[in-house]
Amino acid sequence: MKSLILGVTLTLFSTFQVMACSCECTGDCSFSAISSNSEIVALVKVISYDDYLEGGKRPYSMTVEIIKKYKGTESRKTIKIWGDNGTECRPYISNFKLGEFYLVAPNQLGEYKLEGENSTDYDFFSCNTDYMKVDMDKQKAFGVFTKTRTEIGLKEFEEKVKK
């Protein structure tokens, strides 16, 4: 009986977790499409984890340095990006490594901020490809750039953004 109750409880819990962030990409959710409609697109470097969950074990937010801004009016040299707390449709900040570079097209929080967040902070949406890892030695970004392409050179990306 205990195993039945445990099984039902785990099933309900896992169902809740899926429902908390149950999304499907409708249309083109590649970085190319998302960045073309984004307010800000930049090459950034992760410089710190700032807020933590689970007693300081899991990073909840990060500060990134804007290395190069391709699009947008953001004037700050650094911005804060929030991740998932277990109930949001955001990627976990632990996916981003300190000192590494990313092409990003984040969403400014505005009125949709959670407790502790500022309206001028940013987040990503798990159902979109709104960031790509960058290898600075190769000068390439890797991820879902288009539905059929998983990498792009930074110079080529810059040319595409200018169009």
Does the predicted TM-score (pTM) go above 0.75? yes
* 108 sits in which H/E element: strand 107-108
The DSSP secondary-structure symbol of 110 reads G
- Tell me the pLDDT tens digit for each residue of 30-87: 999 999 999 999 999 999 999 999 788 899 999 999 999 999 999 999 999 999 988 8
Q: How far is CA 155 from CA 42, 47, 136, 142, 162, in A?
A: 13, 24, 12, 14, 11
- Tell me the pLDDT tens digit for each residue of 62-78: 999 999 999 999 999 99
> How much is the pLDDT for 21?
62
Q: Which residue has the higher pLDDT, 19 or 25?
A: 25
Coil, strand or helix: which one is 154? helix
> How much is the pLDDT for 15?
34
On the 0-12 / 13-18 / 19+ scale of CB atoms within 10 A, 155 is exposed
